[in-house]
A and B are shown apart, each in its own frame.
Chain A
Amino acid sequence: MTGQRSFKMAVCVAVISKENYPLYIQTIPTEDELKFHYTVHTSLDVVEEKINNVGKTTNDLRELYLGLLYPTEDYKVYGYVTNTKIKFVVVVESSNTALRDNEIRTMFRKLHNAYTDMVCNPFYTPGDRITSRVFEKVVNGMMLQDS
Chain B
Amino acid sequence: MADEALFEFLHMEVVSYLFKTADEEKCIPILENMGYRVGHSLAERFTRDSSRFKDELDIMKFICKDFWTSVYKKQVDNLRTNHQGVYVLQDNRCRVLTQISASKQYLEAAPNYLAFPCGLIRGALANLGISCIVTAEVQNMPACKFQIMIQRSQ
Interface residues of B in 115-132 (CB under 8 A from A): 127-129
CB of B50 within 8 A of CB of A83, answer yes
- Which residues of chain A have C-beta atoms less than 8 A from B128's C-beta? 83-84
In the assembled complex, the CB of B10 is this many whole angstroms from the nearest CB of chain A, namely 15
CB of B44 within 8 A of CB of A119, answer yes
State the CA gap A82–B128 with chains docked (Å).
9
CB of B44 within 8 A of CB of A64, answer no
The answer to whether the Cβ of A61 comes within 8 Å of any Cβ in the partner chain is yes
The answer to whether the Cβ of B55 comes within 8 Å of any Cβ in the partner chain is yes
Question: Chain B 31-75 against A: per-residue CB contact (8 Å), 1 yes, 0 no?
Answer: 000000000110111011011111100000000000000000000
CB of B52 within 8 A of CB of A62, answer yes
The answer to whether the Cβ of A55 comes within 8 Å of any Cβ in the partner chain is yes
Q: Which of B41, B52, B53, B55 is close to A119, meaning CB atoms less than 8 Å apart?
A: B41
Residue of A with least CB distance to B41: A120
The answer to whether the Cβ of A129 comes within 8 Å of any Cβ in the partner chain is no
State the CA gap A37–B62 with chains docked (Å).
35
Residue of A with least CB distance to B52: A62
Residue of A with least CB distance to B48: A116
- Which residues of chain A have C-beta atoms less than 8 A from B127's C-beta? 84, 126
In the assembled complex, the CB of B122 is this many whole angstroms from the nearest CB of chain A, namely 14
Q: Which of B43, B51, B55 is close to A84, meaning CB atoms less than 8 Å apart?
A: B43
Among B43, B47, B48, B129, max chain A CB count under 10 A is at B48
The answer to whether the Cβ of A35 comes within 8 Å of any Cβ in the partner chain is no
Residue of A with least CB distance to B129: A85
Q: Which of B41, B48, B51, B55 is close to A113, meaning CB atoms less than 8 Å apart?
A: B48
- Which residues of chain A have C-beta atoms less than 8 A from B129's C-beta? 18, 84-85
Number of B residues with CB within 8 Å of any CB on chain A: 16
CB of A126 within 8 A of CB of B48, answer no
In the assembled complex, the CB of B131 is this many whole angstroms from the nearest CB of chain A, namely 11
Q: Which of B40, B43, B48, B55 is close to A55, meaning CB atoms less than 8 Å apart?
A: B55
Q: Which of B40, B47, B54, B55 is close to A126, meaning CB atoms less than 8 Å apart?
A: B40
Known interface pairs A18-B129, A83-B128; A116-B51 also in contact (CB < 8 Å)? no
In the assembled complex, the CB of B143 is this many whole angstroms from the nearest CB of chain A, namely 30
- Which residues of chain B have C-beta atoms less than 8 A from A119's C-beta? 40-41, 44-45
The answer to whether the Cβ of A63 comes within 8 Å of any Cβ in the partner chain is yes
The answer to whether the Cβ of A54 comes within 8 Å of any Cβ in the partner chain is yes
CB of B48 within 8 A of CB of A63, answer no
Query: Could you give 23 example pairs across A and B, Cβ below 8 Å?
Result: A54-B52, A54-B54, A55-B55, A61-B52, A62-B52, A64-B52, A81-B52, A82-B44, A82-B47, A82-B48, A83-B43, A83-B47, A83-B50, A84-B127, A84-B128, A85-B129, A112-B48, A113-B48, A116-B48, A120-B41, A120-B44, A126-B40, A126-B127
Add 4 more A-B contacts to A63-B51, A83-B128, A112-B48 (CB < 8 A). A55-B54, A82-B44, A116-B48, A120-B41
